[in-house]
Amino acid sequence: MGTAFVKAGNYFGTASRNVLRGPGQRNIDFALHKTIPITERILSELRGEMFNALNMVNFANPSGASTSTNFGKISSTTGNPRIVQLALKLLF
């Protein structure tokens, strides 16, 4: 694939801008919370949150350096894996 994009001397060439595109990015976040009264003046709030709930892999953009041997190859990921957190808050 690297030979399809050869440097044209000191000219920019005829390829349009953004001809190389990376893969799409997907992420689903999810949260639930419940307010629980303890007395008239004291409340507790239980919260659960999931970031990247479906644990989808997001690949980084391919290498765009036309002189590199890794031209057009994706060699890393972006974003975080699934993160789950629970919290309990006391309101008074």
Give 3-43 pLDDT, tens digit per residue.
666 666 656 667 777 777 788 889 999 999 999 999 999 99
CB neighbour list of residue 87: distance below 8 Å, 6 or more residues apart: 45, 46, 47, 48, 49
Long-range contacts, 5-8 (Cβ 8 Å, 24+):
5/66, 5/71, 6/66, 7/66, 7/67
Over residues 40-60, mean pLDDT: 94
Residue carrying structure tokens 């894996």: 81
pTM for the full predicted model: 0.63
